[in-house]
Amino acid sequence: MGYNLHITRAEHWLDADGEPIGRQEWNAYASGHPAMQHAGWIEWKDVGREAVYDWPAGYEDRSSLSWRNGEVTVTGVYTDYIPGLVAIAADLEANVVGDDGERYTSDGVVDAT
């Protein structure tokens, strides 16, 4: 299993359902974003079928973003595109949080407390 990032309005991604990014809100944002491309579907056992969007990471690498339980899960993490993910989170009034609870900002990484 790889390391994921999470775009969430909560301080920790495990609490995303308490301050959710709505499914329709995310899909409207992602489908209208000029750099994202619809890349298919994922079947989550708990929420069903959700759209997957590709985000360019440079050098032909891409990450995948998909909504689940009030957050956007980012797989295929490359450090080069974290500033773009931070900008997406800012548009959604949200945070970028790693699996271990660290928070990614425009100023760098803030360790989990």
H helices of the chain, in order, are 23-32, 82-91
Structural domain boundaries of the chain? 5-91
Average pLDDT over residues 49-66: 81
d(CA 84, CA 29): 14
pLDDT in the model for residue 41: 95
Task: Name residues whose C-beta falls within 8 Å of residue 69's C-beta, 6 or more positions apart in sequence.
Answer: 16, 17, 20, 46, 47
Rounded to two decimals, the pTM is 0.88
Question: For residue 73, with 0-12 CB atoms within 10 Å meaning exposed, 13-18 middle and 19 or more buried, which class applies?
Answer: buried
Q: Are 93 and 86 spatial neighbours (Cβ–Cβ below 8 Å)? A: no
pLDDT digits (tens, 9 = 90+) for 12-43: 899 999 999 999 999 999 999 998 999 999 99
Q: Look at strands 95-98 and 71-75 and give their pairing.
A: unpaired
91 versus 81: which is more confidently predicted?
91
Average pLDDT over residues 59-78: 84
